[in-house]
Structure 1
Amino acid sequence: MFNRVYVYNETSKTTQNNVAFNIHPYNKGKLTMLEISIRTRAKYDSLFIKGFGIQPTNREVFVDTKIKEIQQAENTSNTVLLLKPKNNTIYDEEETFELTFLFIIASLGSFYSAAAGAYTLLFGSSKLLPWGLTQKYMCCLNLRKNFEIEMATHYVSKAGIPFADNPCELPKGATIEDRVLILESVLRKYYLDTDFFAELNYIVQQNQKYKKKFNIK
C-alpha cells in the first residue's frame, strides 16, 4: 500500500503528494511483478476559482498498478515482489469546464453582489442604511454631525421626533397630521422609492379627468 509519492517538476523542485487509498493483494510463493505508473488529478473547489485563473489546491495522486504473477519452481516457497516503473511519465489530469454564457452572467452577478455589499458596508445605502462604517467610525464625523443638525432642523417639530417620541403623547398644539407629514418626508427622502406612488397618482388623476370629460360615473 502506497501512502505518499514525491514528484519532480520542471522547476527541479520536489513536492510531496498524498496518494489515494490503494491496496494491491498478491499470492504467496510466486514472483509478483507490479508495473506502476503515477497519475495526478487536480480539482477546483469551485468553478469561479478556475474562471479567475487561480491554481487548484485540491490535488491527489493515484498509483495505477498492473500485477503480473510468474510461477516459480515447485520446491520454492519464497515470495518475490518486484516493483517496476511502467515508464518515466507522470500523467497530469486537471478538471476543465466550458466557459459558457451562463457562467459569465453568474460571475458578473457574483462580482456585482460582492461589490455592492462592500460598498453598503463601508458607505451605507441611501434608502435602507444611510450610514456605513466610514461615516460611523472611520471618517466624515464632522459631515455627519452637520447632517444631524440639519436633520433636527427639518424634522424635529412640535409633533415630536419621528420613530422616537410616543405618538399617543403629542405636545400641546400638535396634531397627528403633523406627525404623518414628517414621517412621509423622512421616508420619501431617505428610505423609500416613491416614484411608483407618483406614477400611480398621475394615473388616478388622468382617470378622473376622463370620467369628468365623458360624464362617466
Structure 2
Amino acid sequence: MENVKIGSIISNVGGFVSSLTGFFVFLFGANKLAPWGFFQKYVFKCLCIRYQKKLINKLKTKYEPIPFVSGRTKNVTLEERVQNIENILKEYYLDTDFLNSLLIKRNKVNDNEYYDKV
C-alpha cells in the first residue's frame, strides 16, 4: 500500500455513504415532509390501480350512497347515512374489538356492583 492516508479513506467512505443516501432518497423519499419517492409516485401507483378499482366497485355495491362522496339523496334517511358511515369505519378504519372489551368490562363492573348491593 502506497501512501494511503486516513483522510482519503474517510472521504471515500463519506462519498459512498452520500451516494447511497441519494439513491435511497430518490427511490423512497426524503423525510416526513416529502415522503414520496420514485417508487411511491410511479411503481406502487401502477400496482394499486387494480385494487383501487375493486374497492370502488365494492363500495358502490355495498353502500348505495357512498358517505362523504355522494350528496344527499331523497330516498335515503339520515339514519341510513349514519349507519353507512359507522359500517365503513368499522370495516376499514376502527378496531372495534377494543371497544367491545371495554363494554364487557363495564358490564362486569356493573353486575358486581348490583350483586354487592343485594
Matches within 5 A, 1:4-153: 10=1, 40-41=6-7, 55-57=13-15, 122=40, 134=44, 137-139=45-47, 141-153=49-61
Q: Which structure has the higher relative contact order (CA within 8 Å, separation 6+)?
A: 1
Give the counterpart letter for 1:138 in structure 2.
Answer: C
TM-score, scaled to structure 1: 0.34
Paired with 2:111 and 2:14, the residues of 1 have a C-alpha distance of 67
1:194 aligns with 2:99: no
CA contact (8 A) 2:59 2:66 kept: no
Instruction: Structure 2: state its 5+ residue gaps.
Output: 16-30
The gaps in structure 1 that reach 5 residues or longer are: 1-9, 16-38, 45-53, 58-113, 123-132
Specify the structure having the higher radius of gyration (Cα).
1
Alignment length (residue pairs):
97
Q: AA paired with 1:55? A: V
Q: What is the one-letter code of the residue matched to 1:144?
A: Q
State the Cα deviation string for residues 110-143 of structure 1 (Å, max 9, x = none). xxxx9xx89xx75xxxxxxxxxx63xx3135444
CA 1:215/1:170 → structure 2, altered by over 3 Å: closer, same or farther? farther
Q: Which residue of 2 aligns with 1:61?
A: none
1:161 matched to 2:63? The reply is: no
Hey, what's the Cα distance between the residues in 2 that align with 1:144 and 1:199?
A: 33
1:199-214 paired onto structure 2 within 5 Å: 199-214=101-116
Rounded Cα–Cα distance in structure 1 between residues aligned with 2:117 and 2:63: 43
CA positional deviation for 1:150: 1.7
For 1:192 and 1:214, locate their aligned partners in 2 and report how far apart those are by CA, in whole Å. Answer: 35
Q: Residue 162 of structure 1 aligns to a residue in which SS? A: coil
Asked if the contact 2:67–2:84 (Cα under 8 Å) also holds between the matched residues in 1, the reply is yes
Once the two structures are TM-superposed, the CA of residue 43 in structure 1 deviates from its matched residue by 5.2
**Could you say which residue in structure 1 is the equivalent of 2:86?**
184
Q: Distance in 2 between matches of 1:147 and 1:184?
A: 17
Letter in 1 for 2:110: Q
**Distance (whole Å) between structure 1 residues aligned to residue 69 and residue 109 of structure 2:** 39
Cα root mean square deviation, aligned: 3.9
Measure, in 1, the Cα distance between the counterparts of 2:50 and 2:6. 60
Conserved 8 A contact 2:67-2:85: yes
User: Relative to 1, partners in 2 of residues 1:189 and 1:214: Cα closer, same or farther, differing over 3 Å?
Assistant: same
- TM-score normalised per structure 2: 0.54
- Which structure is higher in strand share? 1
What fraction of aligned residue pairs are identical, expressed as a percent? 22
| SS of the residue 2:14 aligns to | coil
